[in-house]
A and B are shown apart, each in its own frame.
Chain A
Amino acid sequence: MVYIDVIEKLTILTAAAKYDVACTSSGAERRGQKGGIGNASAAGICHSFAADGRCITLLKVLMSNSCVFDCSYCVNRRSNDTKRATFEPRELADLTIQFYRRNYIEGLFLSSGVIRNPDYTCEQMIKILEILRYEYRFGGYIHAKAIPGADELLIRRMGLLADRMSVNIELPSQKSLQLLAPDKNKDNILKPMGLIRQSITESRTELVRYKSAPQFAPAGQSTQIIIGATPETDYQILNLAAALYKKYELKRVFYSAYMPVVEGKNLPSLTTKPPLLREHRLYQADWLLRFYKFDASELLDEKNPNFNPFVDPKCSWALAHLDSFPVDVNTAPYETLLRVPGIGVKSAQRIIKARRAGPLNFDGLKKLGVVMKRAQYFILCSGRGMEGLKISHDSILRGLLSDRSMQLMEGSSGEQLSLFDDTTVTRGDIIKCLTGQI
């Protein structure tokens, strides 16, 4: 291996891959096999955290940043003047193994610009995965991105080698796609998605019949939506996500605050700040859909199509439904507890467990990890509320917000919030980088 050459390629192809925000190695569980190397653990493992605070779990690179397409938001688009590089299949397979042995990574996240045509690109990617799986008998995690427009058979072959597959939607509507990604359209994105979903279902049924049947993308499929490059509302985006979860049984939808890297007449200007807070709210709402049994229509509607920047979606919902509160922690069912601000999945489970040993009081709840500052307005303990607490929409709002947010909200509402002064955001960031637990 020519070292200088490889490090140069690695640099170019990492820089080109970093805007894909998927950051998990979760969803597959596999023990290491004799004669091979590598295992996979369902919860996923973060190996490091980059300067932007995001989890590094996979060697995330492009096979090539050459591309025959011309999506206007993308650095790799044909018409952009940038340094190009392409890994030889063996080069990248070897690098993956060497990083993996040193415990730098859980595996490989492989994507690519389109070299020559989608089929050729897919074949080259498959070569890399075959060296890993068959030659090295690599049991670690592989996330492969399907190339829209590639032959069905190739996508099926890829899925049998990968743990997770993804097809990025990128833009939340057909109109925006037309505007910014003229070589793509809704159909050639949704077609591979449907194919992957179908293959996953088939493979599961096969598995029931023959234990040794090869598994198709056992960790499921995911996608990414860019936020803020186009004018869609949070309501539209969340509905799209909910539909994707339902129709395509996606494991995850990732949201990526648009970061201007290239200039374009239909794009926000280069000085636009990425809408990080908005991205954060979408992740919180996504979490509510997946783990808290909320429905998209409960969180937003046509009249209120965007999230409140000052209050998280769960609190917003609770404030709008004060008539459903307070709930008694000693009798409320699990699903109801989950809807209380300040009670998460873990503390709800603890409450259920602990109250079997005896009734809980406010002091006990604190010990169980309930965030009383939030929860106090919404709960009773054996019929009694927290002493001396005023309960009205305004007093609650005042209690839930940090002083700073309150000032900002009362002042000009258009002002940019400083993200990192707000403690709830930092916690949310944790959640976002996490690999599947709250």
Chain B
Amino acid sequence: MSDGPDLIYRYDGSFKGLMCCVFESFYQRETPLRVISHAETQESLFEIREVVTDNTKASRVMRAVVEKISGEAMNLVYSAYLSDLKDKELHILRFLRLGFKYGASVMRMLTDDTVRILNKAVTHLSNEAALLRGFVRFSDFGGGLVATIEPKNNVLPVIKHHFLSRYPDGCFIIYDKTHKLVLLAQQGRSRIIQVDDFVPPQAGNDELRYRTMWKRFYDTIAVEGRENPKCRMTHMPKRYWAHLTEMQTPPDTRPITDAPARLTSNNTPASGLR
């Protein structure tokens, strides 16, 4: 096996695409210097190899991971792919090299740096997903619910099951502004699509009233004499405040218009297993 210190893989950013990079790396017996997605542009002196996404190759890799390592390892890899770990592709590649060597026991090698880094990234993802199950704030637009989030990790595929169960008959949209993804859900069915931009409609009177009432509840429920800004900040980091109704002062009462929601999209399904 040779290291390819002057070689960079580029893929389409999808999970299957990443699995094809794994295939390529094993097939060519080489480890690239970096693996980048199309979204990243990199001025580079190094050779860039385009890795084309191929369903058959991707499936072969995924099956091999499950059979030769474990289903648990497959989950770890997929979750790590959703995380915001820097150079996650390379870490995943390294992990799979270890995994194919040691088999299922790689999952117990918690003090190995490669394993630890992936686990840490996945914990970060699950923690953020757990927070967002609570922090998503919907607005009601004539029966449909719309929310915007700005997570670090790609949490939509993780949290969608929860919201589908919460609103089994509902129609809702969650827009992930960071990753430009939209989760569309209706009557228990859902899909995630890539968008260029998403602008929610303006709130109506009823909506503004409920926001005001919620803000009032929030302000009233705190016990004076026990203020603890540090504790609040630990649990509810400031970067989430922009989309939390109760943290807007004064409550969000922007003028009301009838402008409908705008969704700009090329309608390609977003990356990810479905």
Contact = CB atoms under 8 A, between A and B. Distances in A.
Given A10-B216, A32-B166, A274-B225, A53 B116 contact: no
B221 A11 contact: no
Given A3-B209, A357-B108, A51 B232 contact: yes
Contacts of B111: 354, 360, 363-364, 367-368
Contact of A37 (B162, B168, B225, B236): B168
Interface in B211-266: 212-214, 216-223, 225-232, 234-236, 244-246
A38 interface: yes
- Interface-centre pick from A50, A257, A273, A364 (highest chain B CB count, 10 A): A50
Contacts of B218: 48, 50, 56
B253 to A, nearest CB: 13
Contacts of A39: 162, 165-166
B252 to A, nearest CB: 12
A45 B236 CA distance: 13
Nearest to A45: B134
Contacts of A103: 134, 136-138, 147, 166
A354 B107 CA distance: 9
Given A59-B217, A102-B138, A45 B108 contact: no
A56 B108 CA distance: 37
Interface residues of A, number: 64
Contacts of A50: 218, 221-223, 232
Contacts of A195: none
A272 to B, nearest CB: 10
Contacts of B166: 32, 37-39, 103
Main secondary structure of the interface of B (DSSP, over half): helix
Interface string A10-51: 110011011100000000000111111111010101111111
A11 B235 contact: no
Contact of B220 (A14, A98, A354, A364): A14
Contacts, number: 174
Nearest to A12: B220
Contacts of A31: 165
B145 interface: yes
Contacts of B217: 10, 14, 59, 99
Contact of A11 (B137, B216, B226, B230): B216
Given A10-B216, A99-B214, A430 B235 contact: yes
A33 B110 contact: no
Contact of A433 (B105, B222, B235): B235
A52 interface: yes
Interface in A323-379: 350, 353-354, 356-358, 360, 363-364, 367-368
- Interface-centre pick from B116, B212, B225 (highest chain A CB count, 10 A): B225
B169 A37 contact: yes
A189 interface: no
Interface in B132-186: 133-140, 145, 147, 162, 164-170
A34 B140 CA distance: 20
A289 interface: no
B213 A10 contact: yes
Given A104-B245, A368-B111, A49 B231 contact: yes
A210 interface: no
A32 B220 contact: no
B199 to A, nearest CB: 19
Contacts of A259: 223, 225-226
A41 B166 CA distance: 10
A429 B213 contact: no
Interface string A89-112: 000000100110111100000000
A430 B226 contact: no
B231 A426 contact: yes
Nearest to A95: B213
A18 B216 CA distance: 13
B167 A32 contact: yes
A33 B221 contact: no
A6 interface: yes
Contacts of A7: 212-213, 216
A101 B133 CA distance: 13
Contacts of A19: 223
B33 interface: no
Contacts of B188: 34
A259 B170 CA distance: 43
B100 interface: no
B65 to A, nearest CB: 19
A60 interface: yes
Contact of B234 (A43, A356, A430): A430
Interface of A: 3, 6-7, 10-11, 14-15, 17-19, 31-39, 41, 43, 45-57, 59-60, 95, 98-99, 101-104, 257, 259, 273-274, 276, 350, 353-354, 356-358, 360, 363-364, 367-368, 420, 426, 429-430, 433
Those 3 A-B pairs whose CB atoms lie nearest each other, nearest first: A53-B231, A53-B228, A364-B111
Given A48-B134, A53-B235, A102-B139, 9 more contacts: A31-B165, A47-B134, A51-B232, A101-B138, A103-B136, A259-B223, A358-B109, A364-B111, A426-B231
13 contacts: A10-B213, A11-B216, A14-B216, A45-B134, A48-B134, A49-B232, A51-B222, A56-B221, A98-B210, A99-B217, A104-B245, A357-B105, A426-B230
